[in-house]
Structure 1
Amino acid sequence: MNQPLRIVIAGGGTAGWMAANLLAHRFATIPIDITLIESKDIGTIGVGEGSTPTLKRFFQTLDIAEHQWMPACHATYKVNIKFNGWSGDDNASYSHPFFSQLDVHSERSFYVNALTRRLGLDVETTPDRFFMGGYLAKKNLAPIPSHNFPFAIEYGYHFDSHKLSEFLKQHAKRLGVEHIEGDIASVGTSVSGAISHLTCKDGQVLKGDFFIDCTGFSSLLLQKTLNVPFTSFSNNLFNDSAVVLATPAIDHMPVETESSTMSNGWCWQIPLRNRTGNGYVYSQQYQDKDKAEYELRNKLNLLDSDVEARHLTMRVGQCEQHWVKNCLAVGLSQGFIEPLEATALHLVQITIEQFATYYAKGNYTEKYQQHFNSAMTERFERIRDYIVCHYKLNGRTDSQYWTDNRENMQLSESLLSLLDVWYRKGDIVQEIKRQDIGKHFSAASWHCLLAGYRVFPEIAQHQPASLEEQGDLFEENKLSTFFNRCSLNFEKQKTLFTSAV
């Protein structure tokens, strides 16, 4: 390149600053100028957010140690998501632990027991009893083992998204990213229809070779300027709103997110070091915002409190194309799948990483644009399917919302095939391989969901004599003893943080 590649990022927030950092890192070997413009009037809502283990790779890529960013963002570790009440019993719950290297010793036992239970035999199928993350969550142990423990542990984080944005901003500036505070007045295009420049309200003009749209749901560049259509997921994901409230920090500092059902949706509990983030995700088709706020306040014992509640609206779905001409949408501007599985930042990160790979492979041209768009569309759809399955299988009967979700037949062929194999007592591991969808949610994740909901037939009245003689297959494999002894290599999250001060 004779001239530096000019990349302009429109919008900050976590998505914008993740993009700035990753692109500055990935393209560090070529002449490049990265500029990010953000409005000082639009702040990030720091109610507490969770991630998947993908975010750990993000910080490792940038060589940012946990002791550098976690205290600054009030972050805690996350090894598990606990789902309360989804099967219809308010007292029933199941867990989805993150899969670690250690779990290769128990994964097959879980699959075998799940199939055995589908055949009518009474065996252990509780997901968190087969994975190390489940034991860490129950004991509130941080996923950082002693030096002599030979297995890698996977985990995500809980964090203050506003604080994280600020941290990433400062890091990006150290990498050479130019930061401009300002508001975009108009978007200019060339004869070919590509974006040529942004004009700020103060008259400043930002020219670029490539533009990243991080302007949120407004999608100023991709949707409003390039007129890329939006595909809604509202026919099978009903939720479009949320109300959020902060409460004091939980003293024992859990290492898991909790997702509990409400009358017309579900609420999250995300434990940070300095407070707890709570939010109720619901559908305005079934409940108005005032009733939703009342229900959340009542659950949190805040009916008489003056703690401020904030109301959010969501547009669930994705753009028909994520990369068009010389513009890539990242974050809410490209699409959004409701936060049940904390996939928002996962999709941001994957989008940037995949774009950087294809863009460089195509010699910084649009050569692999279609490959990228197909891959991202597929990823959004398969993540949607996994979340839709939570609602389709729900056992609640206390509102029309839950009944309509259960009776909804707007399901993809992929999800229908998975459920068909499960109900027919087939090999769902092979079905996931056949569809090549394990890179989105693994066979272990699907087993956690389906076994967690107890999607099983009635237990056969007469159990085989061999099973009665052996006792529970789970105990026969001694997995509980194995994991409990492994957990001796970990310490309480609160203790870990206190000793680090």
Structure 2
Amino acid sequence: MKRASEIKQIVIVGGGTAGWMSALILADTLAQSATMREASITLLESPVIGTIGVGEGSTHALKRFFDTLRIEESEWMPACHATYKCGITFDGWSTRPGFTSYFHQFSTMVDNLTQPVLSANVAARLRGADAPAWPNDYFLSAYLVKNKLAPVNPEHFPFTANYGFHFDATLLARFLRKKALERGVRHHECHIVASRLDAAGDIASVQTSNGEAFAGDLFIDCSGFAGLLIEQALGTPFISYARDLANDAAVAMPTPHDGDVAPHTVSTALRNGWAWQIPLTSRHGNGYVYSSAYCSADDAEHELRERLGLLDADVPARHIAMKVGRVEQAWRRNCVAIGLAQGFLEPLEATALFLTQTSAAIFAAYLDAGDYGERARDAYNREVNGYFDGHRDYIVAHYKTNSRPDTAYWRDRASNPGAVSDSLRAVFDAWLGGRELGAEITRQGIDKYYPIGSWYALLAGMGIFPPSRPAPPDPALQQQAREMREFLRRCALNFRGHMEVLREYESGSAHAARAA
């Protein structure tokens, strides 16, 4: 195998968000690399295969991606019909009184002041006391959503907030392509039909349907669920998560909105899965993620149309099959799989783009360091597999803690013992045993997947507490909770309206386009 400094031709197979995001991350890294500045990047994109776009939401990591590339939100957000995202509201996953809805927040600096109060109330509630432990009352992001405020803090408010975005996936891929081409990435529209391996078993070239061949030293497989290189050419085993995550299909359709939207995704439990609602500036994205073992595609579409009031409307539905799991080795020989070719977790926590970005960035760092040998491959695979497994466990926790008794789907999700890994079981045991949850999360090293605040939001939000004792509430804890609510209300006064900020971006973008 070549050394990193000998890599001159990098070929990315597949476009879409994964392909163009990988191209930009690699191009930015190579431009600043002392050893690989002369390497070229060529992206091969089929004109007949579109973006999957199951979800149109991100985690807060996407902000870091654009910041690193020095691309302003006021530029890319209007181009992609994007809105802000402070987190995800979960409706109807729990039937426990007082906990039928909760918000999973992106963290803010203010949380350092409020989360200890939530922790004290959670500890009291776990002991059976009647303590106010609904997490929405303790996080600034929930107040921003409630009041439809943009999470961009002004200069005079020194506490920053993490936030993600909602966007049109097709427009985002188009925007990333434009930026990648500006930064020197080469682009060919072609349909890949075969791969040729060299004597050592590395990929030497890929062939197109018109007979053209593209040779490379390093190949990035962004070919989606097909896994043209990592699975089909190199035979890398695929590890299914079907035992853990039952959902394997989705149906999606858009609806209009009144132009005033809150900065959050809404996930609502339905009969055999859950529905998403994602606000863009131009429309709502809606979908139903479900298990084909419990209902048919027609039944799922009917349930979604009924929910949206579209039973008699001529709005086309898009049906999507999902391959849930990951390849055993995302980096194998001279090929790295990124995006859906690497793996996919259902879109409940909007992990797809995060895993794409994280995988590409970690690999780019290895290249930049000149670390391209077998030891580097093994370390890379352990790290990215850890991200997939860690995120899987957090998603499984949503299903395992649900309390819906209405359908076999939800009863089976709660009772499925095989879905609980040793790591997740230890988290549950620490919570229910009243031990310090943060210590367990840190002991396992899984806080890099989801921090302690996320676990508090999920477990407290679902109402995973013993029945309260017939005793009066603790006055001190009640007073602290009231003070926190008032504190957060006043913090939120520093932020501007969500749509006000987005309209300024759109106005500025239109002005810039006219000037150009």
The Cα shift of 1:3 comes to 6.4
Structure 2 residue 444 is matched with structure 1 residue 435: yes
Corresponding residue of 1:20: 23
Structure 1 contact 358–369 (Cα < 8 Å) conserved:
no
The 3-state SS of whatever aligns with 1:37 is strand
* Distance in 2 (alpha carbons) for counterparts of 1:364 and 1:177: 22
Structure 1 contact 359–368 (Cα < 8 Å) conserved:
no
* Distance in 2 (alpha carbons) for counterparts of 1:123 and 1:4: 60
- The one-letter code matched in structure 2 to 1:427 is E
Structure 1 contact 49–158 (Cα < 8 Å) conserved:
yes
Alignment of 1:196-275 (within 5 A): 196-275=204-283
Alignment of 1:374-393 (within 5 A): 374-393=382-401
Corresponding residue of 1:320: 328
The 1:471–1:441 alpha-carbon spacing in structure 2 relative to 1, beyond 3 Å, is: closer
Higher relative contact order (CA 8 A, sep 6+): 2
Corresponding residue of 1:488: 493
The 3-state SS of whatever aligns with 1:16 is helix
* Distance in 2 (alpha carbons) for counterparts of 1:339 and 1:78: 15
- The one-letter code matched in structure 2 to 1:474 is Q
The correspondence for 1:414, drawn from 413, 423, 426, is: 423
The 3-state SS of whatever aligns with 1:192 is coil
* Distance in 1 (alpha carbons) for counterparts of 2:310 and 2:460: 35
The 1:273–1:47 alpha-carbon spacing in structure 2 relative to 1, beyond 3 Å, is: farther
The 1:119–1:5 alpha-carbon spacing in structure 2 relative to 1, beyond 3 Å, is: same
- The one-letter code matched in structure 1 to 2:71 is I
Corresponding residue of 1:459: 468
Structure 2 contact 7–217 (Cα < 8 Å) conserved:
no
The 3-state SS of whatever aligns with 1:472 is helix
Corresponding residue of 1:151: 159
Corresponding residue of 1:311: 319
Structure 2 residue 366 is matched with structure 1 residue 361: no
Structure 2 contact 130–471 (Cα < 8 Å) conserved:
no
The Cα shift of 1:424 comes to 1.0
Structure 1 contact 47–246 (Cα < 8 Å) conserved:
no
The 3-state SS of whatever aligns with 2:41 is strand
* Distance in 1 (alpha carbons) for counterparts of 2:471 and 2:484: 26
The Cα shift of 1:249 comes to 2.7
Structure 2 residue 68 is matched with structure 1 residue 61: yes
Structure 1 contact 79–97 (Cα < 8 Å) conserved:
yes
Corresponding residue of 2:137: 129
Corresponding residue of 2:503: 498
TM-score computed with the length of structure 1 as normaliser = 0.96
1:43-78 deviation line (CA, Å, top 9, x unaligned): 124576000000000000100000110000000000
Corresponding residue of 2:172: 164
Moved more, 366-375 or 435-444: 366-375
Alignment of 1:25-64 (within 5 A): 25-28=28-31, 29=33, 30-45=37-52, 49-64=56-71
The 1:47–1:431 alpha-carbon spacing in structure 2 relative to 1, beyond 3 Å, is: closer
The 3-state SS of whatever aligns with 1:403 is helix
Structure 2 residue 297 is matched with structure 1 residue 289: yes
* Distance in 1 (alpha carbons) for counterparts of 2:291 and 2:277: 19
Task: Structure 2: give runs of 5+ residues left out of the alignment.
Answer: 508-516
Corresponding residue of 1:450: 459
Structure 1 contact 240–282 (Cα < 8 Å) conserved:
yes
* Alignment size in residue pairs: 497
TM-score computed with the length of structure 2 as normaliser = 0.94
Structure 2 contact 255–285 (Cα < 8 Å) conserved:
yes
Q: Where do 4+ consecutive residues of structure 1 move more than 3 Å? A: 1-4, 45-48, 362-367, 473-476
The 3-state SS of whatever aligns with 1:460 is coil
The Cα shift of 1:360 comes to 2.9
Structure 1 contact 142–255 (Cα < 8 Å) conserved:
yes
- The one-letter code matched in structure 1 to 2:327 is C
- The one-letter code matched in structure 1 to 2:422 is E
* Distance in 2 (alpha carbons) for counterparts of 1:45 and 1:479: 42
Q: What is the CA RMSD across the aligned residues, in angstroms? A: 1.6
The Cα shift of 1:154 comes to 0.7
* Distance in 2 (alpha carbons) for counterparts of 1:112 and 1:291: 45
Calculate percent identity across the aligned residue pairs.
44
* Distance in 1 (alpha carbons) for counterparts of 2:183 and 2:91: 43
Structure 2 contact 339–352 (Cα < 8 Å) conserved:
yes
Structure 2 contact 7–218 (Cα < 8 Å) conserved:
no
- The one-letter code matched in structure 2 to 1:432 is I
1:65-98 deviation line (CA, Å, top 9, x unaligned): 0011000000000002000000037992111111
1:355-401 deviation line (CA, Å, top 9, x unaligned): 11123334444440000001111111110000001001111111111
Corresponding residue of 2:433: 424
* Distance in 2 (alpha carbons) for counterparts of 1:398 and 1:2: 59
Structure 2 contact 274–289 (Cα < 8 Å) conserved:
yes
The 3-state SS of whatever aligns with 2:232 is coil
* Distance in 2 (alpha carbons) for counterparts of 1:87 and 1:401: 14
The 1:61–1:387 alpha-carbon spacing in structure 2 relative to 1, beyond 3 Å, is: same
The 3-state SS of whatever aligns with 1:304 is coil
The Cα shift of 1:145 comes to 2.2
The correspondence for 2:480, drawn from 474, 477, 480, is: 474
The 3-state SS of whatever aligns with 1:251 is coil
The Cα shift of 1:146 comes to 2.1
* Distance in 1 (alpha carbons) for counterparts of 2:60 and 2:504: 24
Moved more, 374-383 or 80-89: 80-89
* Distance in 2 (alpha carbons) for counterparts of 1:408 and 1:448: 22
1:280-307 deviation line (CA, Å, top 9, x unaligned): 0000000000000000000000001010
* Distance in 2 (alpha carbons) for counterparts of 1:21 and 1:435: 33
Corresponding residue of 1:83: 90
The Cα shift of 1:101 comes to 1.5
- The one-letter code matched in structure 2 to 1:223 is E
* Distance in 1 (alpha carbons) for counterparts of 2:90 and 2:46: 37
* Distance in 2 (alpha carbons) for counterparts of 1:3 and 1:204: 24
